[in-house]
Amino acid sequence: MKHDPMKDDRTVSHPRVHPLTGRPLTRREALRLGVGTLATAALAPGLLAACGTGDANGGGAAGAPSSPDLALQPILKRIPSSGEAIPVIGMGTWQTFMVDDTEEELAPLREVLRIFHDRGGRVVDSSPMYDPAEEVLGRLATDLGLVDDLWVATKVWTEGREEGIAQMETSLAELRRPNIELMQVHNLVDVEVQLDTLEAWKAEGRFRYIGVTNTSAQRYPAVEAILDDGRLDFVQVNYSLAERASGERILPMARARDIGVITARPFAGGNLFQATRGRELPEWASEFDCASWAQFFLKYIASHPAVTCAIPATSNPDHMRDNMGAGVGRLPDAEMRQRMEAFIDAL
């Protein structure tokens, strides 16, 4: 059964709020209050591990004491090729931002993007394949004054050098950016030709990072070959509690080669919600500050030592609040991750 992101029954996490006004914190307010900085990660084992300085097997001690102040801090992970830290929970735009140009369609997405940003979100992933998602993202980011605050990733998805250049120029125009953080060759289409252009544009400063994406486990040998050539900053693959194959092959290889990992399909196309519908969270989920099934699934992904950022997609503001709750507090450690896998496997 296809999952409808607007209709699943999910617990909403408590938003981060300003200590004086009681309203949700903006990113600038959070920074002024010291929220989300790596310097404060020294106070939290879970955040230390999330930034690559803790237990190599997972995100941090599930049983470590939790502080109310630390609950406000987004978990950050470092990009291996640069050391830049980004929040571990990002946002995808597949299907959700593929909408008509009407206020009725755009209004909930504008709120979704606002909530994402207010709760420390930065990384947004799109693609020309998701037409008109890039244009919608650029328009809404402009409406909200967030164009320069977002860490944007998109893709090139065509054959031929000139065709690739034309498509990427269109993407930048629609995103309303002269440059972006990450350009990826989507599903390895004409990968050698496109990577030559990506390398050149990266040298010119049009991209900060380059990478590839892959959605098929059958093409892992091709992914492994490209990971070995030393050009990539990122690889994007499917990974979740229901789709773990990349965790056995691609993620360990990426980590060994200092390549960042973005994970797609965190809810396995809604299958994980379907499998757990009507079930209560296990009591032990509270040991890693988990308050909903969405957070359960996302914290599992975020706790993998190779994962840099997960990109769940939603068009529902309440679900965005819930998703962002997975990016704060503690993460499951290696032993807890195995317990989570066993729980899902037994359903």
Please list the residues that pair with 235 across neighbouring strands: 212, 261
Tell me the pLDDT band of 73, cut-offs 50, 70 and 90: confident
User: How confident is the model over 2-44, as pLDDT tens digits?
Assistant: 333 333 333 223 334 333 233 344 433 343 333 333 322 322 3
Q: Which of 60, 59, 108, 124 is nearest to 307 (CA)?
A: 59
The whole-number average pLDDT for the span 162-188 is: 98
The reply to whether 99 falls in a domain is: yes
User: How confident is the model over 201-221, as pLDDT tens digits?
Assistant: 999 999 999 999 999 999 999
The whole-number average pLDDT for the span 142-151 is: 97
The whole-number average pLDDT for the span 158-163 is: 98
The reply to whether 286 falls in a domain is: yes
Residue type at 283 in one-letter notation: E
How far is the CA of 101 from the CAs of 134, 172, 225, in angstroms? 13, 19, 41
> Does position 303 have pLDDT exceeding 70, yes or no?
yes
φ and ψ at 227, to 5 degrees? -65, -25
Q: Which of 129, 179, 309, 299 is nearest to 234 (CA)?
A: 309
The whole-number average pLDDT for the span 230-245 is: 97
What CATH number is given to the structural domain containing 259?
3.20.20.100
User: How confident is the model over 95-139, as pLDDT tens digits?
Assistant: 999 999 999 999 999 999 999 999 999 999 999 999 999 999 999
The reply to whether 64 falls in a domain is: yes
- pLDDT value at residue 225: 96
- Determine what percent of the chain is predicted with pLDDT higher than 70: 79
Six-digit token pair at 133?
């998602």
Q: Is 152 exposed, middle or buried (0-12, 13-18, 19+ CB in 10 A)?
A: buried
Q: In the chain, how many domains are there?
A: 1
The reply to whether 199 falls in a domain is: yes
- Residue 46 is part of which domain span? 28-345
φ and ψ at 160, to 5 degrees? 100, 140
- pTM of the entire structure? 0.82
- Determine what percent of the chain is predicted with pLDDT higher than 90: 79
The reply to whether 33 falls in a domain is: yes
Task: Report the alpha-carbon distance of residue 253 to residue 230 in Å, rounded.
Answer: 12
